[in-house]
Structure 1
Amino acid sequence: MDRKNARKYVERGLEAPKYGQRKQNTMFGDRLATYLRERVKAWTARRLFREI
C-alpha cells in the first residue's frame, strides 16, 4: 500500500482494505500449445506451418 493511501486511512480512521488472492492467469505458451494441438488434429503439418 502506498504511504499516501495509508495516511488517508489513518486520518479518516478507516480500516485498510483486505484484498483476496489474485486469480492465476494461464500462460500464453499454454494457450498456444492447446491451440496448436487442436490445429494438428484438424490439418496437416504443412498447412499448420503456413498458418503460423
Structure 2
Amino acid sequence: MFHTKGFGSITTSSSALDLVALSNEALSISIPHKKSIIETNTIRLALHRQT
C-alpha cells in the first residue's frame, strides 16, 4: 500500500489499466483548459469521476 499526500492510500492491487484510465481522465480534463501540468485538483476530479 502506498500513502499519497492528499489522496489517501493506493493499494498495490491497482492494475495498470486502472492507472491508464485515471491518467486518460486527468488528461481529458486538463487538455480543454490548455493546462500543460496536471494539478492536484485535476487528479482529484479524475478520481471522483472514476468512482
**What TM bracket, shorter-length normalisation?**
0.3 to 0.5
Please, what TM-score do these two structures have when normalized by structure 2?
0.35
> Which has the higher relative contact order, 1 or 2, with Cα contacts under 8 A spaced 6 or more apart?
2
Q: Which has the larger radius of gyration?
A: 1
Higher strand residue share: 2
Higher helix residue share: 1
Please, what TM-score do these two structures have when normalized by structure 1?
0.35
